[in-house]
Amino acid sequence: MLKQAKIAVMVSGGGTNLQALIDAEANGIIRSGKISLVLSNKSTAYALERAARAGIKTEVVEKRMCSGNAEFEDRIMEVLDREGIDLIVLAGFMCILSERFTAKYAERIINVHPSLIPSFCGEGFYGLHVHEAALAYGVKVSGATVHFVNEIPDGGKIIMQKAVEVKEGDTPETLQRRIMEEAEWKILPLATEAVCQSIVRGESV
């Protein structure tokens, strides 16, 4: 039986959610898994520096260096398989993964989305676009969702959600920050631990 699940965090940008995961592992919130790899599709991603500072192995696979999406995903899968990864956490990874990829790692890929799915999700809803849409609609509550990843953008089974109040005078930027601090950075580590526990025990989530 596994003692700890090996986690790969896939990133494209600054890595604030990665930092929340690194901190959660250091603080004992994530006990059933270990972040073994940080993989980015951008060599300039600041998340890679965060990983290096924490002593975590990094890899870069850039789509522009590949002949197409199939080769891009093949290279990522080669790295994941070589490292013996048990769980993939998408933390601001700005590439849509194909059904071929998600089926290979069924219920082994999780993602955090900055809304309460099924609201403001799916293709085109990422980053500030999500919060712009929520404010335009006039919702009083938004939040974040951690879900399994399948071939449908934001379409996999929900693992955990947390609601966050939308305040008078919010901008997309202020709402984004509050959702990160009050929801994303809390539920992503908790959901990661829950899925790692299930993997270690050989159970389904």
β partners of residue 34: 6
Q: Look up tokens 């890929």; give the residue.
A: 109
HEC string of 46-62 equals HHHHHHHHCCCEEEECC
Sign of CA dihedral 126, 34, 45, 74: negative
Please indicate whether residue 113 is annotated as part of the active site.
yes
Backbone angles phi, psi at 147, to 5 degrees: -145, 160
- The span from the CA of 12 to the CA of 93, in Å, is 5
Q: Which tokens go with 197?
A: 């526990």
- The span from the CA of 156 to the CA of 150, in Å, is 5
Q: Which of 113, 129, 131, 147 is catalytic?
A: 113
Write out the H or E segment, with its range, that includes residue 59.
Answer: strand 57-60
Enzyme catalytic residues: 113
